[in-house]
């Protein structure tokens, strides 16, 4: 009897076989990864589990076309050594990791899918810049912990879907240990891998990285997470917004998005701090409103869409079509989303990750 690919996948799903590691150290939300596309195959035509399937109305043909153009543009931006980024942000592990995650958000994995080679090359670059201390960093004049957080997240998502890669596991474990050991006394992290200071922008990068690693079965001490939660709470103002550091400061929507996402990824799902933060975002940064969300646009919306997705319900139903349609309108003719400060690879990767959240391919987005 001839068995089709769809039938085979259905049987595997019925048996409960998942792509993530079976034995996990913690209790992350359950989820199954959809099978990635093979070379030349559209990921939209691959059968997906219920948790990977977009809900009615979340995706449309305009979005699919924009993503295809964006991924093609991003491919053209990869450097010969596998890295992404140009100018002062050239050969940047953080931007390279974000670009890798953008391709993975379409179901591509190293060596699998239309952009599997791009993911493989990005992974090679990140692993080649894993130091003995665990720090993931290449040539950058900026604080390396930003890049380290994004790169650790990238390794966590790779390892979560392919736990047989020993080199990825070794680099991931060392990267996680560095994060744990550089947490400052307040519970947060700052630009450099030393436990002296902290801000919420760098802290969210480390919290997401730890959550991804924990989901993939890497041990993360509960104390580390508890202290991070306390730090994030200490950064919230009375208006529901979050300030940049634990001391006095004004609220702003990008750091509020980071603060709310931090609490969610740290395992806090129902809390007054989350509700107040979400209300602040809805009031100050809902896409489509005059003047809403233009400062640190791509960075802020990268976290805001995750916060609203994890909140779900009416908040997600309101936020998602607004940011989707606004990003589609911002795409340049060549397929890029442009940010003059950091460069097209960064802003395009952020935009592509945002637009593909409903695909739910990445383990970090599987509820």
* Tens-digit pLDDT profile for residues 252-262: 999 999 999 99
* Backbone dihedral angles phi then psi of residue 109, each to the nearest 5 degrees: -130, 165
User: What are the pLDDT digits (tens) for 5-61?
Assistant: 444 333 333 333 333 333 333 333 333 333 333 333 333 333 333 355 677 789 999
Query: Is residue 109 classed as helix, strand or coil in its secondary structure?
Result: strand
Mean pLDDT of 241-249: 94
State residue 140's pLDDT score.
66
DSSP E strands, the chain: none
* Backbone dihedral angles phi then psi of residue 242, each to the nearest 5 degrees: -115, 145
Domain of residue 255: give its range: 5-32+59-365
pLDDT at 161 over 80: yes
State residue 53's pLDDT score.
67
* Percent of the chain's residues with pLDDT above 70: 85
Instruction: Say if CB 354 and CB 305 are below 8 A apart.
Output: yes
User: What are the pLDDT digits (tens) for 184-224?
Assistant: 999 999 999 999 999 999 999 999 999 999 999 999 999 99
Exposed e or buried b per residue across 260-291, where buried means at least 16 C-beta atoms within 10 angstroms of its C-beta: bbbbbbbbbeeeebbebbbebbbebbbbeeee
In a domain, 305, yes or no: yes
Question: Rounded to whole angstroms, how far apart are CA atoms 202 and 364?
Answer: 18
pLDDT at 225 over 50: yes
Exposed e or buried b per residue across 164-176, where buried means at least 16 C-beta atoms within 10 angstroms of its C-beta: ebeebbebbbbbb
Q: What is the number of structural domains in the chain?
A: 1
**Cβ neighbours of residue 263 closer than 8 Å, sequence gap 6 or more:** 229, 232, 233, 271, 273, 274, 277
User: What are the pLDDT digits (tens) for 46-104?
Assistant: 333 335 567 778 999 999 999 999 999 999 999 999 999 888 788 899 999 999 999 99
In a domain, 54, yes or no: no
In a domain, 38, yes or no: no
Residue 55 burial (CB count, 10 A): 11
In a domain, 51, yes or no: no
Query: Is residue 189 classed as helix, strand or coil in its secondary structure?
Result: strand
CATH of the domain at 135: 1.50.10.20
pLDDT at 350 over 60: yes
Question: Rounded to whole angstroms, how far apart are CA atoms 216 and 163?
Answer: 8
**Cβ neighbours of residue 346 closer than 8 Å, sequence gap 6 or more:** 84, 85, 89, 95, 98, 298, 339
In a domain, 288, yes or no: yes
pLDDT band at 141, cuts 50/70/90?
Answer: low
State residue 298's pLDDT score.
96
Question: Rounded to whole angstroms, how far apart are CA atoms 228 and 259?
Answer: 11
Instruction: Say if CB 196 and CB 240 are below 8 A apart.
Output: no
Report pTM: 0.85
In a domain, 345, yes or no: yes
């Amino acid at each position: 009897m001839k068995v089709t690919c769809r039938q085979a996948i259905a049987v595997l799903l019925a048996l409960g076989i998942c792509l993530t590691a079976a034995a996990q150290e913690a209790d992350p939300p359950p989820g199954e990864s959809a099978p990635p596309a093979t070379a030349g195959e559209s990921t939209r035509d691959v059968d997906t589990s219920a948790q990977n399937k977009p809900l009615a109305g979340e995706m449309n043909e305009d979005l699919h076309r924009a993503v295809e153009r964006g991924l093609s543009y991003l491919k053209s931006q990869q450097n010969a050594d596998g890295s992404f980024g140009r100018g002062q942000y050239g050969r940047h592990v953080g931007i390279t990791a974000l670009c890798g995650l953008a391709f993975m958000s379409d179901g591509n994995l190293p060596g699998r899918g239309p952009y599997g080679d791009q993911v493989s090359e990005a992974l090679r670059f990140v692993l080649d810049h894993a130091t003995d201390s665990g720090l993931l960093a290449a040539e950058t004049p900026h604080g390396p912990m930003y890049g380290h957080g994004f790169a650790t997240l990238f390794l966590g998502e790779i390892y979560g879907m392919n736990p047989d890669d020993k080199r990825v596991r070794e680099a991931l474990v060392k990267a996680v240990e560095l994060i744990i050991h550089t947490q400052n006394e307040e519970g947060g992290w700052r630009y450099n891998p030393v436990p002296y200071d902290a801000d919420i922008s760098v802290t969210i990068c480390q919290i997401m990285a730890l959550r991804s690693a924990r989901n993939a079965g890497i041990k993360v001490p509960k104390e580390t997470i508890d202290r991070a939660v306390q730090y994030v709470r200490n950064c919230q103002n009375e208006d529901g917004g979050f300030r940049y550091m634990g001391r006095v400061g004004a609220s702003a929507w990008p750091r509020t998005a980071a603060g709310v996402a931090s609490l969610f990824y740290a395992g806090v799902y129902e809390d007054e701090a989350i509700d107040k933060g979400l209300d602040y975002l809805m009031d100050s940064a809902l896409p489509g409103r005059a003047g809403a969300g233009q400062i640190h646009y791509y960075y802020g919306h990268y976290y805001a869409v995750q916060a609203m997705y994890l909140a779900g319900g009416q908040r997600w139903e309101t936020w998602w079509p607004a940011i989707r349609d606004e990003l589609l309108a911002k795409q340049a003719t060549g397929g890029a989303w442009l940010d003059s400060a950091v460069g097209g690879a960064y802003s395009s990767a952020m935009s592509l990750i945002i637009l593909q959240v409903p695909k739910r391919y990445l383990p970090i987005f599987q509820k």
